[in-house]
Structure 1
Amino acid sequence: MPVSFLSNDQRENYGRYVGPPSPHDLARYFHLDDTDHALIAPKRGAHNRLGFAVQLATVRYLGTFLEDPLAVPQPVLRTLAKQLRIEALDKANPYSAGEQRWEHATEIRASYGYVEFTEPLIAFRLTRWLYALCWTGTDRPSVLFERATTWLVTHKVLLPGCTTLERYVARLRTRVEERLWRSLGSGISLDQQTRLEGLLVSSGGSRNSPLDRLRTGPVVASSRSMSLALMRLQAVRELGIRLPAATRIPATRVAALARFADAAKSSAILRLPVLRRLATLVAFVHCLEASAQDDALEVLEVILRELFGDAVKADKKSRLRSLKDLDEAAATLASACQMLLDDTVPDAELRKQLFARISPDALALALAGVNKLVRPTDNVYYQELDAKYKTVRRFLPALAEHIHFGANAAGGPFIAAFAWLRANMMVKRPDNDAPREIITKPWQRHVLREDDAIDFHAYTFCVLSELRIALRRRDVFVAPSWRYADPRAGLLDSTEWESTRPIICRTLGLSAVPGPTLTALADELDRTYHAVAARLPDNPAVRFEKVGDKKELVLSPLDKMDEPASLIALRAKVTGMLPRVDLPELILEIAARTRFTDAFTHISERTARASDLHVSICAVLMAEACNTGPEPLTRGDVSALKRDRLSWVDQNYLRDDTITAANIMLVAAQGRSALANVWGGGEVASADGMRFVVPVRSVHSGPNPKYFGVGRGVTWYNLISNQFSGLNDITVPGTLRDSLVLLAVVLEQQTDLQPTQIMTDTGAYSDVVFGLFRLLGYRFSPRLADVGGTRFWRIDSKADYGLLNSVSGHNISLQKIEPHWDDMLRLAGSLKLGRVPAAGIMRTLQVGERPTRLAQAIAEFGRIDKTLHTLTYIDDEAKRRGTLTQLNRGEGRHSVARAVFHGKRGELRQHYREGQEDQLGALGLVLNMIVLWNTSYMEAALNQLRADGFEVRDEDVARLSPLLHEHINMLGRYSFSVPDAVAKGELRPLRNPASDE
C-alpha cells in the first residue's frame, strides 16, 4: 500500500512547534520542578542553563530534540527564562552553535529515561496498542499517525523520523487489513467463492453484472416492484453468506468494505487482490441482506398506504356522488312524515291525502333510495379493496415466504394471523380456525359471514391493515435490518443496567428511585404556579375569555421589535463591507482556513489521494449543494476539475461519515469566532424541516399536497445552533411528524457543541417528547401558537393557584410514573449511550391509541415539564422572544438553502435514500461554510468600524445575522482558484461601503 499519506504541512509540522503553546501546555510541559532545577543549576553560564531547560521542555512537549535547540516560540523562552531568573535572552544565542547541547541531550535522555523507538519492548507495546485501535475501526492513517506520536511522547520514546513512523503505520494497517480479509473469507466454501466471484462477471451480452443488479434497489411501488424486491432478497440469501462468529469482526469495518462494494464498479472490484476481493464481496452480501429487506418493506409500506388511501378516496367520492339522490329521496320521505305528524288530518283520511300528494310508487322509490344510500360508510371502502385483491395476491405468497416478522406483545395478534395466512394461502378451502383477535370491530362485518365463517379476502385485508399500523409503530420488526429492526433490541440488559445505573443517574441528574426526583419536580411545579399566578395581574399579554361555560387563557402575540436607527445603520455598513465573492472561491477559502477537506477519505479505506484533491472535493460539494451536477464545473484543462476526476471523487469520498466529520470541523471553527459567541454560546438549538419535491420515481419520498402538490417529496430536518451553524440533519420521506425525528436529530449530532435547550415550532411537541427530553437532561422549549388549547396539569388537586385554577383542571398521577421509573431510566440510559435508535423508540412510544404502560408513564412525566414550560412561556416575554428569534434563524438558514439549491428548479432528483442524504448533507456543509465565511468577514468589518470611530453597540451586534447571500455569486462563473494570500488563510480586503466595487 502507499505510505505517503501525510500532507506536506503534516510532515513539516512533525516534531516541530506549530505556533506558541497554549497557556495550559506551558503550565503542563514547561514548568521546571525541583529535580529540573537541581540538574540545571550546575550548568555554567546563563546560556547553558537556558539551553538545557529549553531542550528538556522541548523533548517533554514534542518528544524529540530540535536540530536548532533554540528554534522555539518566544513564549517558551520567556516562560523558562523567568523560572531561571535570566533576563537577557540574547545570552543564550551561542548555545545553538556549541557542542555542549549534544552532551545536554545525552544527559536528559539518561536522567529522565528517554529511549529510542528501535527498542524491541517499545515496538512491541506500541504495536499491540495501535493494532487494537486499528482493528476496532480507528484506522485512518493520519489519525493513527497522530495517536502513535502521542503514545511515544507520553511513554518517553524519542520520535523517529517522519517517514520511519509513516512506514510503520502503513505496515501495521496492512497487517490489520490482511487479518480482516482472511477472517471474512475464512468460512467461505469453494462453491460460495465461485458464486461470489460470479457476481462480478456480466453474461449474455448484458452491460450490467449480477452485482449491479443486486445493488439496484426498487424505485417505484407496485406489485411487480414488490415481487422483484423479494426476489432480490431471496437471491442475496441464496448466496448463504454468514460472518464467522468466532472472529468478532467489528461491524464498522464490515460496513466500510460493504460501502466500497456498493459504490465501486465491478471492474474495479475484479482488479483487487483475491483475498481482498473475496472479503469485500462477503461484507457486501452480509450487509445487503438488511438493505434488501428494508427496501422490500419500504415498497410494501407505500403499496399499503396507497391501497388503503385509494379505498378511502373512492368511498368519499361515492358518498359525494350519492348525496344529490339521497337529498331528493329524503325530501320525499320528509314530506310524508310531515303529513303523519299533522294533527289536523284525521287518521281515516291520512293515507288518502298522503297518496294524493305523493304516489305510492314515488314513496316506495324514495324509501328504496334511502335504504340504498344510507349505508355503513365502509361499504365502498371494502369493495374498492376487494377489487385490488389480485394485486395483493401477486406478491403476498412471496412476502409470507421471505419476510419473517418478529413482534412485541402488541404485535402478537398479527404474528398469529400472518402465520395462519401463510399456512392457508394455497388451500382452496381453508379451515375456519383463523385467529380472531386481530379482527377489530370495523372489520367484523366484512370478515365474519352470517354462518360465522371467515371470508378469506376480507381477512387478508384485515391482516394487511394491522401490518401497516404495526410496522409504523414498530410493534412488528424484522432482522437483519437497518430501519425496521426491533428498536428495543439494544436496551441495556439487566446485568449491564445494574452496573450502569449509578453512572446514568449521576450524568442525567436523576435519582435511582422515583421519590426524590418526583418530589423535587412537584415542588418546582407548585412554586412556578404560585409565582406565575402572582404576576398575572401585571402581565398585559395574558387575559381570560369565556368560551361557552369555560374560561380559556389567551396569550397576545408578540409585537414586532422596533429596529433602532443604530442597528439599521450598522447592518448597512457591515453588509456593504462584505467582499463580493463567487461561491467556489468561498468554499476554497474555507477549505484553506479549516482544512475540512482532510475529513474526506477514500471509501476503500486506502490512503488514495491525488494532486489538488481538495479542489475536486470542493467542486463536488458545490455541484451537489447547488443541484447543478458536475457539468458546469468541468474543465478539461484542469486536472482537478476533469469529468472523470469529479466522478471518482463523488463516488469514493462523498458519503455520510465524511460529511459528518467535515461538518464537525466547520462547527468547531464557527464556535471559535468571538462574534459567533456574541450570538450564542451553543447551549441553544432549534429544529425545523425544509421540504423538497422529488419529481423522479422513488420509494423514499412521500405525498403531501400542501408541500408537494400532486407529486411526492422529502423533508430535510435540521438542527441549528444559536451560533447559526447546522449541527445535524435527517432526511425523511414525505412529511413525517416532526416529533418522531426530533429526538434522533438531537441525540445523533456529533459536533463539539452540546445544546441543552431545544426549540421547535408548535408541531413538534407531545407529552412523550417533553418526558424523554427532561429524562435526558434537555429543556424542550417549543413555540406555543395556541396556548388556549394547551392543557395545564397539576399534581396537587387542592392547591389554590388563583386565576390559573380555571385552566388547570387536569391532574397528574405520580402513581402512573413510580412503578415504571427504573424502566424509564433504563430507556434514557440506552438512548444516551446510543444503544437504541431514537427514531424507532419514538415510533413505539407515540402510538396515539393503545400506548404501553411505559409510554403512559413517560407522557405523565412529560406533562410536568410541559406545564412548567407553558407557565414560564406565558410569564416571560424574553423567553417567547428568544424562542421566536432562534426559530427565525432556522427559517433564515432555509432561505439561504433555497438560494444555494437553485439548480433543476430546486427539486431533489435522487432515487435512493443514500443519494438524498449525501446531496442534502453537502448542502448543509456549504451552508455552514457560508455562515462561517460571513461571520469571519463581519467580525473583520466590525473591527474596522470600531477602529474608524464608528459607534458599534453590543446590543446591535447581537442582532446581526450571517445568513446573507446577496454578495455571493452562485450563478455563471465557476472558477476554483483563490489569491495566494487567501489560500494561506488571510482575509480578503473589505469593500468600501460607499462604493459598488
Structure 2
Amino acid sequence: FINASGSKRQQPLAKFEPQRRYATLVALAIEGMATVTDEIIDLHDRILGKLFNAAKNKHQQQFQASGKAINAKVRLYGHIGQALIDAKQSGSDPFAAIEAVMSWDAFAESVTEAQKLAQPEDFDFLHRIGESYATLRRYAPEFLDVLKLRAAPAAKNALDAIEVLRGMNTNNARKVPADPPTDFIKPRWQKLVMTDTGIDRRYYELCALSELKNALRSGDIWVQGSRQFKDFEDYLVPPEKFASLKQSSELPLGVATDCDQYLHDRLTLLETQLATVNRMAQANDLPDAIITESGLKITPLDATVPDAAQALIDQMAMVLPHVKITELLLEVDEWTGFTRHFIHLKAGDLAKDKKLLLTTILADAINLGLTKMAESCPGTTYAKLAWLQAWHIRDETYSTALAELVNAQFRHPFAEHWGDGTTSSSDGQKQQGRKHRPYQPEVWKQPRTDFLHPHLRPVRAVSHQGGQRRRARLDLRARWPAVPRVRPAHRGTLHRHGRLHRSCLCPDAPARFPLRAAYPRPGRHQALHPQGRYCL
C-alpha cells in the first residue's frame, strides 16, 4: 500500500477510490507509528549515552584540574613518611618528626584538604549522573507511558521496576514504595541506590532507565508496534508453519534436514580434505605455502601490475574519446537492456524518456540530488526527475538492474582475467562524516568517521551503496573481509536491527539467493537458500 501511494505523496492518494485511500492511509499510519516509536527509543538511547559521556568527561576533567594539588599532597606526605621512618630507626619522637616538617595545625589542615581531593574508592563517575536527573525527568514519564513493553524472563525484574516508575509518575509520588524490585540493580549502582535512609529515588530511576536501554539493545525487552525493537520471535517462521513445512519436506534449505546424515557427510568431507592437505604438505606440494618445524610459511605475493604499465595506462587514457556519461549509459543499455527493469510502480510500463531516467539514476549515483541535477541539465526540471524517481526507481528495480549488469559482466570473456567470480569482498571505506556525531562510547574520543560496507560485492560487480540486494545468477561460494571489522561494544547493537554479527558472512542476502560455502572442489556443495535477512 505504501509503495502504491507514490512515496507518500498527497496527489496520488487523492486519485484513489475511497476504500483504497483509507486502506493506504491506515498502512501509512501503522508504518509511521513504527518509525516514530523507533526514533523515540533511539533518541532516548542517545540522550542517556550523552549524559553518561558528559559525567565521565567531567569526572576526568576535575581529576586533571586537581592534579597539581594532588601532586603537592603526595610530595608532602612523602616527606612526612620519610621523617617517620627516620624517627623509628633513631628511636626519636614521631610527633616531633612531623612537626619538624610542618606545624601540627598545618598538618591537620592538609589532611582535611586531602580528604576533599580524594575520589571514591572505585574511582567511578556514576555518582555524577545524578546531576543530569532533571534532563531525564523532562520526558521520562511520557516516554515510559507511551511504550508498550514486553520482557523475556531475564529482564522481567527490570520491567517490574519500569512499572513501579509508571505508578509513581501517575500518583506524583516522591518516594519509592516499599519492597520495590531491586534484583536488576548492578553492583556498580548499589551504593548510589541503596542508601542508609532507604532507596534513593533519583538513582533508582536512573538505574532503571539505564537497564531498560541495555535490555532493549540485547533484545530481552521488546516494544509492541516497533520495527527495530520487536520481539525476536517475529523474525522467525511461526512454529506451526515450520512444522508443516518440515512434515511435507518442503523446507527451503539447500542441505539435508536429517542431522545425523548431514554431520556424517560433513565429517567425511573434512577427513578427506585433511588427508589431502597432509599428503600435499609432506610432499611440499601446497600451493604458495610450506610447512616446516617452525610452522606455516606463506609465499608473499608479487606485484600484479608492473611499473612500466603506468605509461601504457596514461597513453590509453589520452586515446579514449571524451563522451557524456548519459551517452555512455545509453550505450551500455543497448548492450544489456538494464533500463527495462525500471518499470512503473502501478502500470508496469517502461520509462518513455530513457535519457531522463538515466539522469535521475545518475543523480543517485553521484549523490548530487535532484535539485542540483535539474539545475545542471538544460531542459530538465525537478518535477520530471522527482516523478520518475517516485514511480520508476525503487529498491527492487535497482536490484534487478544491477543483477543484469553483473550477469553481463560475468558472461564477458574479458572478465575471466579477474577470476571466476565465485568469491566476494567487503571493502570497507573509511569516510569523514559530519562534525558532530551521535554518541558512540567506543569511539567518543575520535573524529566522526563512517565505514561504508557494500552488502555484497562479487569480484566483477559494481556495488550499490544504497543497501540494495543482489539477484545476480552467480555461484558465490566465499566472502572475504578486506578490512578488520569493529566488534560492537554491546552484543545487541546489531540484534536490534534484526541482524547477527558475523565477520565473514553477509547477513543481508535476499531470499532465494544462492550462498555456498568455500570448499576446494566446487562440485561438492549444495546451495543454501536463506529466508529473509538471516543466513546460516
Q: Which TM-score band (shorter chain)?
A: 0.7 to 0.9
Assess, with a 3 A threshold, how the Cα gap between structure 1 residues 315 and 563 changes in structure 2: closer, same or farther: same
Q: How does 1:202-601 map to 2 (within 5 A)?
A: 254-257=1-4, 260=6, 262-264=7-9, 266-342=10-86, 345-376=89-120, 381-425=125-169, 426-451=172-197, 453-498=198-243, 499-500=245-246, 507-508=254-255, 512-513=259-260, 516=264, 519-520=267-268, 523=271, 558=300, 560-561=302-303, 563-564=305-306, 571=313, 575=317, 577-601=319-343
Whether the 8 Å CA contact 1:693–1:714 is kept in 2: the answer is no
Letter in 2 for 1:592: E
Assess, with a 3 A threshold, how the Cα gap between structure 1 residues 380 and 588 changes in structure 2: closer, same or farther: same
- Counterpart of 2:199 in 1: which secondary structure? coil
Assess, with a 3 A threshold, how the Cα gap between structure 1 residues 532 and 540 changes in structure 2: closer, same or farther: closer
Assess, with a 3 A threshold, how the Cα gap between structure 1 residues 536 and 618 changes in structure 2: closer, same or farther: closer
Whether the 8 Å CA contact 1:687–1:758 is kept in 2: the answer is yes
Assess, with a 3 A threshold, how the Cα gap between structure 1 residues 632 and 295 changes in structure 2: closer, same or farther: closer
Whether the 8 Å CA contact 1:477–1:484 is kept in 2: the answer is yes
Letter in 2 for 1:277: R
Letter in 1 for 2:226: S
Q: How does 1:900-979 map to 2 (within 5 A)?
A: none
For 1:323 and 1:696, the matched residues in 2 are separated by 31
For 2:280 and 2:73, the matched residues in 1 are separated by 59
Whether the 8 Å CA contact 2:406–2:461 is kept in 1: the answer is no
- Match 1:621 to one of 344, 347, 361: 361
- Counterpart of 2:139 in 1: which secondary structure? helix
For 1:459 and 1:525, the matched residues in 2 are separated by 58
How many angstroms does 1:594 deviate by?
2.6
Q: How does 1:766-777 map to 2 (within 5 A)?
A: 769=502, 777=516
CA deviation vs aligned residue, 1:874-922 (integer Å, no higher than 9, x gap): xxxxxxxxxxxxxxxxxxxxxxxxxxxxxxxxxxxxxxxxxxxxxxxxx
Whether the 8 Å CA contact 2:336–2:404 is kept in 1: the answer is yes
Q: Aligned residue for 1:834?
A: 531
Assess, with a 3 A threshold, how the Cα gap between structure 1 residues 636 and 313 changes in structure 2: closer, same or farther: closer
CA deviation vs aligned residue, 1:615-674 (integer Å, no higher than 9, x gap): 2221122223223334554379976x2232123223333332322232222222222211
Letter in 2 for 1:752: R
- Match 2:418 to one of 671, 679, 684: 679
CA deviation vs aligned residue, 1:817-867 (integer Å, no higher than 9, x gap): xxxxxxxxxxxx9x95424x44xx9xxxxxxxxxxxxxxxx9xxxxxxxxx
2:406 is aligned with 1:667: yes
Whether the 8 Å CA contact 1:325–1:369 is kept in 2: the answer is no
Whether the 8 Å CA contact 1:596–1:666 is kept in 2: the answer is yes
How many angstroms does 1:435 deviate by?
1.3
How many angstroms does 1:430 deviate by?
2.7
CA deviation vs aligned residue, 1:219-261 (integer Å, no higher than 9, x gap): xxxxxxxxxxxxxxxxxxxxxxxxxxxxxxxxxxx3424x53x
Q: Aligned residue for 1:815?
A: none
Whether the 8 Å CA contact 1:683–1:755 is kept in 2: the answer is yes
TM-score, structure 1 normalization: 0.45
Whether the 8 Å CA contact 1:315–1:378 is kept in 2: the answer is no
CA deviation vs aligned residue, 1:450-489 (integer Å, no higher than 9, x gap): 24x2212111211222222222222322233332223342
How many angstroms does 1:700 deviate by?
11
Letter in 2 for 1:595: G
Whether the 8 Å CA contact 1:333–1:367 is kept in 2: the answer is no
Q: Aligned residue for 2:389?
A: 650
- State the number of aligned residues: 504
For 2:483 and 2:377, the matched residues in 1 are separated by 53
How many angstroms does 1:683 deviate by?
1.0
For 1:567 and 1:509, the matched residues in 2 are separated by 50
State the identity as a percent.
Answer: 22
2:477 is aligned with 1:756: yes
How many angstroms does 1:442 deviate by?
0.6
Q: Aligned residue for 1:790?
A: none
CA deviation vs aligned residue, 1:314-371 (integer Å, no higher than 9, x gap): 2222222222222221221222222333376434322212221133344334433443
Whether the 8 Å CA contact 1:326–1:369 is kept in 2: the answer is no
Assess, with a 3 A threshold, how the Cα gap between structure 1 residues 730 and 616 changes in structure 2: closer, same or farther: closer
Higher Rg = 1
- Counterpart of 1:410 in 2: which secondary structure? helix
- Counterpart of 2:230 in 1: which secondary structure? coil
For 1:377 and 1:536, the matched residues in 2 are separated by 62
- Counterpart of 1:419 in 2: which secondary structure? helix
Assess, with a 3 A threshold, how the Cα gap between structure 1 residues 275 and 309 changes in structure 2: closer, same or farther: same
Assess, with a 3 A threshold, how the Cα gap between structure 1 residues 539 and 715 changes in structure 2: closer, same or farther: closer
Unpaired stretches in structure 1, ≥5 consecutive residues:
1-253, 545-552, 732-744, 782-828, 842-857, 859-997
Q: Aligned residue for 1:725?
A: 462
Assess, with a 3 A threshold, how the Cα gap between structure 1 residues 635 and 434 changes in structure 2: closer, same or farther: closer
Assess, with a 3 A threshold, how the Cα gap between structure 1 residues 660 and 610 changes in structure 2: closer, same or farther: closer
Assess, with a 3 A threshold, how the Cα gap between structure 1 residues 637 and 660 changes in structure 2: closer, same or farther: closer
- Counterpart of 2:99 in 1: which secondary structure? helix
Assess, with a 3 A threshold, how the Cα gap between structure 1 residues 463 and 561 changes in structure 2: closer, same or farther: same
Letter in 1 for 2:384: R
Letter in 2 for 1:655: R
Q: Aligned residue for 2:494?
A: none
Whether the 8 Å CA contact 1:670–1:725 is kept in 2: the answer is no
CA deviation vs aligned residue, 1:192-216 (integer Å, no higher than 9, x gap): xxxxxxxxxxxxxxxxxxxxxxxxx
Assess, with a 3 A threshold, how the Cα gap between structure 1 residues 609 and 281 changes in structure 2: closer, same or farther: farther
CA deviation vs aligned residue, 1:742-763 (integer Å, no higher than 9, x gap): xxx9xx5433224211100352
- Counterpart of 2:93 in 1: which secondary structure? helix
Whether the 8 Å CA contact 1:333–1:366 is kept in 2: the answer is no
